[in-house]
Structure 1
Amino acid sequence: MPEVPAYVPNQRSGTVSVIDTATDQVARTLDGDGGLGGRLQQVMIGSGGDRLYVVDAQAHRLHELDVASDRILRSVDIGENAEGVAESPDGRRFAVCVEGQNEVMLIDPETFEVGTRIQTRGRAPEHCVFSPDGRWLLTSNEGSDDLDLIDVEAAESVAAIAVSGHPRGIAFSDDGRIAYVAQESANTVDIVDLQARTRTASIPAGERTAGLVLSEDGSRLYASNGSGSVSVIDTQAREEVARIQVGQRPWNPALTPDGGKLYVANGRSNSVSVIDTGRMEEIRQIPVGEMPWGVVIAR
């Protein structure tokens, strides 16, 4: 296995490409012995690093995949049109956003069963992201142009926060006070103050802003734009400082642990762009499967 692998779920291929970030080559292609389904969504790396959790929207299942053996160990029913999955910082629960049912499911990693169902105030929750301290869970609701703020311990939504339009990816500041939210129809990244529970600013980005990842030191925010670029945003100045051309319909990006390279899935180019973050330019495109959804790297 690559020392620092990047995992890429290929929606239409029913596979996960494993990229060796040292060589920028596909080292393996996982398919769970053909059992991952024909419409993959988000992949999450388990805290131990040896398991992947794959959202199979075709079969309405969350699969636990052993990376070494490429074998599905367990599966659980997660309902119609599930997309986002996230692990709490303490590893005690998984959250799955279920668009088709306007709810979040909390799953116990030990039993791999749904323990709690939380109705969202907004419609079509897509991305689920825990705050760094695990107290809050945010959902991006693409059907109602808002975010649900969920109190995890109470297992209830306590607020709906209006945003600029069609929210997608979410990234938290290290202190958990600010959430950055990509706005696909507004072509911006919104800044949301969680204590005030309101949008405080919007940073212009590229057309159809979708995916986000924040650098380790919080100084740079990388936003993928559906029009074929990545915006580099200075979080202190709150402005775009560079725009990097990549493939067609780029989605959810990921950074290597040292922050030196950014990987972006190009959904309509069937490739992953590799960006040198120091030079702020694309250095390679790696062919993967059909319609890659995003990239996930353990950090």
Structure 2
Amino acid sequence: MGALLAAGAAQAQQTANHPDPQDEPIVADSPKPFPDGDPTADGKVSSSASGTVTEQALVVQTIPGMPPVPDIHNIYSEASGPDKLSPVVAHDLERIYVPNLRGNSVSVIDPKTYKVVDTFPVGRSPQHVVPSWDLRTLWVTNNSEGHTDGSLTPIDPLTGKPGKAVAVDDPYNMYFTPDGQNAIVVAEAHRRLDFRDPHSMALKSSVEAPLCEGINHAAFSADGRYAIFTCEFGRYLAKVDTVNRTLLGMLKLSKGGMPQDVLAAPDGHKFYVADMHADGVFIIDGDSFKETGFIPTGLGTHGLYPSRDAKLIYVANRGSHMVHGPRHSKGSVSVVDVATDKVLKTWPIPGGGSPDMGNVSADGKMLWLSGRFDDVVYAIDTQTGAMKIIPVGAEPHGLTVWPQPGRYSIGHTGIMR
């Protein structure tokens, strides 16, 4: 397997030396926890030396240190509702934390009153508010957009107040390996992933992805052995071995050219990729790293969030193909049925808008999204699509809803398991 991974890395490096690679994916096989085939892929009865293994007995063989996956069909089963709130977050404030990219600040909303109750300064160009793996810190990723003063500002969820920033190079976004051993700082401008200590943020090692221009969002497989990252400005996806910290390969999408958010399906094998230029969502087989389908959703498809029962995906369509606007564009939210990969309904933003990043309330009744180019936040009723619009700072981006149900966070705006 070591030789295979080395070959994959060498092949990726070889491709980096050629500006026009072919459309076929450059991939090495991912590490396989089941040498004779993964029985968790479809949940069917599998034979073994001792007879048969019932579906109930099947388990996902996770990487060492990663919490078990109780439901092989739903990696989000432990984040399904308020009854799944961890005791760790029992005394945390109920708040919506909104990073204002151009305001260099964070707006804090009380979800009960729909009012901004606090605003505090952070570093330059805050992009996302990221819950830590252990649920004890909310990190604001201030990537400074081309400057050298990138930082992470910690927020104490007990008080809602910021602490002293930690200097970190180019933190556009941040994730955590599912075993909790590493923070992965997404250094977008450098086309690089920095594996860091999840508490001190000291650098451990880096993974270079030279073809992944604008590397930014990620999702992890069911077993935690690999992650798929999107390359916003390059029409590519990158597959990364999270255990050996190597680049496994690159996949060029068939159309579009601006992949944004990526979300693992409940089975942890299929992945959904929003593409802002394709106006829809690509379906990717993560294990084979191949494109298998496409779901048209709306103009400027951008963010992806699962419902609490993981039966639906809320798709934020930003309403424009433009990176920096305009205001009051034809933004909407599409609701996709995971079972059929079909759009069930679409909610337009009243008067136009730019829904971007966010998350779902603990009870699943409200979808919170930033209105990126309209300087607002949308609170959307997940049953009716009715919306409340709340003014915040300049260019709100990756907001998080807190607290969230779940045992641990894998990062971004609070993707919980």
The reply to whether TM is greater than 0.5 is yes
- Other-structure match for 2:140: 54
The CA deviation at 1:168 is: 0.2
State the alpha-carbon separation in 2 of the partners of residues 273 and 61 from structure 1: 27
Structure with bigger strand share is: 1
- Other-structure match for 2:334: 231
The CA deviation at 1:107 is: 1.1
- Other-structure match for 2:380: 275
Report the more deviating stretch, 236-245 or 48-57: 48-57
- Other-structure match for 2:240: 150
- Other-structure match for 1:286: 390
The CA deviation at 1:183 is: 0.5
Matched to 2:155, the amino acid is: L
- Aligned pair in 2 of structure 1 residues 78, 131: CA closer, same or farther (>3 Å)? farther
Q: Which runs of 4+ in 1 moved over 4 A?
A: none
Question: Please, which runs of 5 or more residues in structure 2 have no aligned partner?
Answer: 1-90, 320-330, 406-417
Contact 1:224–1:253 at 8 Å: present in 2 too? no
Answering whether residue 166 of structure 2 is matched by residue 75 of structure 1, we say yes
- Other-structure match for 1:117: 206
- Other-structure match for 1:194: 286
Contact 1:177–1:195 at 8 Å: present in 2 too? yes
- Other-structure match for 1:96: 185
Cα deviation per residue 1:122-151 (whole Å; 9 max; x = unaligned)? 222011333353322221101221111100
Contact 2:151–2:165 at 8 Å: present in 1 too? no
The CA deviation at 1:179 is: 1.1
Cα deviation per residue 1:1-28 (whole Å; 9 max; x = unaligned)? 8743221111111111222223322232
Give the paired residue count.
292
Matched to 1:179, the amino acid is: F
Answering whether residue 347 of structure 2 is matched by residue 244 of structure 1, we say yes
The CA deviation at 1:50 is: 4.1
Contact 1:192–1:201 at 8 Å: present in 2 too? yes
- Aligned pair in 2 of structure 1 residues 133, 63: CA closer, same or farther (>3 Å)? farther
SS for the counterpart of 2:282 is: strand
State the alpha-carbon separation in 1 of the partners of residues 356 and 272 from structure 2: 16
The CA deviation at 1:74 is: 4.5
The CA deviation at 1:271 is: 0.8
Matched to 1:266, the amino acid is: G
Matched to 2:381, the amino acid is: D
Cα deviation per residue 1:208-251 (whole Å; 9 max; x = unaligned)? 10111111322211111111111111122222121112252211
State the alpha-carbon separation in 2 of the partners of residues 6 and 48 from structure 1: 19
The CA deviation at 1:157 is: 1.0
- Other-structure match for 1:167: 259
State the alpha-carbon separation in 2 of the partners of residues 30 and 87 from structure 1: 26
Matching residue within 287, 290, 301 for 1:209: 301
Matching residue within 230, 255, 270 for 1:178: 270
Matched to 2:101, the amino acid is: Q
Report the more deviating stretch, 246-255 or 62-71: 62-71
Matched to 1:262, the amino acid is: L
- Aligned pair in 2 of structure 1 residues 196, 232: CA closer, same or farther (>3 Å)? same
- Aligned pair in 2 of structure 1 residues 43, 13: CA closer, same or farther (>3 Å)? same
State the alpha-carbon separation in 2 of the partners of residues 88 and 28 from structure 1: 31
Contact 1:65–1:73 at 8 Å: present in 2 too? no
SS for the counterpart of 1:19 is: strand
- Other-structure match for 2:361: 256
- Other-structure match for 2:69: none
The CA deviation at 1:167 is: 0.5
- Aligned pair in 2 of structure 1 residues 23, 48: CA closer, same or farther (>3 Å)? farther
Question: Please, which runs of 5 or more residues in structure 1 have no aligned partner?
Answer: none
Structure with bigger helix share is: 2
Matched to 1:241, the amino acid is: L
Matched to 2:335, the amino acid is: V
Contact 1:265–1:272 at 8 Å: present in 2 too? yes
- Aligned pair in 2 of structure 1 residues 94, 2: CA closer, same or farther (>3 Å)? closer
- Other-structure match for 1:37: 123
Larger Cα-atom Rg = 2
Aligned-residue identity in percent = 27
SS for the counterpart of 2:123 is: coil
Cα deviation per residue 1:73-128 (whole Å; 9 max; x = unaligned)? 3513223xx42211233322111211211111111123321111101142220113
Answering whether residue 280 of structure 2 is matched by residue 219 of structure 1, we say no
State the alpha-carbon separation in 2 of the partners of residues 245 and 2 from structure 1: 33
Matched to 1:76, the amino acid is: A
State the alpha-carbon separation in 1 of the partners of residues 141 and 162 from structure 2: 15
